[in-house]
Amino acid sequence: MLRRLNHIAIAVPDLDAATATYRDVLGARVGAPQALPEHGVTVVFVELDNTKVELLEPLGENSPIAAFLARNPLGGMHHVCYEVDDIEAVAAQLKASGARVLGDGRTKIGAHGKPVLFLHPKDFSGTLVELEQS
């Protein structure tokens, strides 16, 4: 059911500074900042050989990462995204198992244009888990 690790997301207070650190100190391939106002973030992709890291900076009012950064002003690992083959089947199985899907429990279109679900950190070892249709 779980396939690839699609990405890990790191919330950062200063996207330019974090991008420069990954590019100049760690020597990573980084993309240009992309504003995603409908998701309340600006994102930079750090391209690794097998997956990617998404550096996220809040964008606009009510950014979904604002509260996290208020608690973690230096930034930190925000969530992990796993790909699944059939997200509707997974959603049904999660509901049957008692695991909590955030929001209204239905898939939404995520930042990559594919259906996603977010799972409650309390059910997954304190880790916010995103599932994305592969």
Q: Which residues bind its own copies (CB under 8 A)?
A: 1-5, 8, 10-13, 18, 21-22, 24-29, 46, 48-51, 53, 55, 72, 74-77, 80, 82-83, 90, 93-94, 97, 99, 121-127, 129
Q: Which C-beta is closer to its own copies: that of 28 or that of 102?
A: 28
Q: Which C-beta is closer to its own copies: that of 7 or that of 110?
A: 7
User: Exposed/middle/buried for 47, CB within 10 Å: 0-12, 13-18, 19+?
Assistant: exposed
Shortest Å, Cβ 15 to its own copies:
10
Q: Which C-beta is closer to its own copies: that of 91 or that of 111?
A: 91
Q: Is 47 a catalytic residue?
A: no
Determine the Cα–Cα distance for residues 112 and 15; give it in Å rounded to an integer: 19
Distances (CA, A) of 111 to 23, 25, 39, 95, 124: 23, 27, 7, 23, 22
Choice among 54, 83, 130, 132 that is catalytic: 130
Active site residues: 130
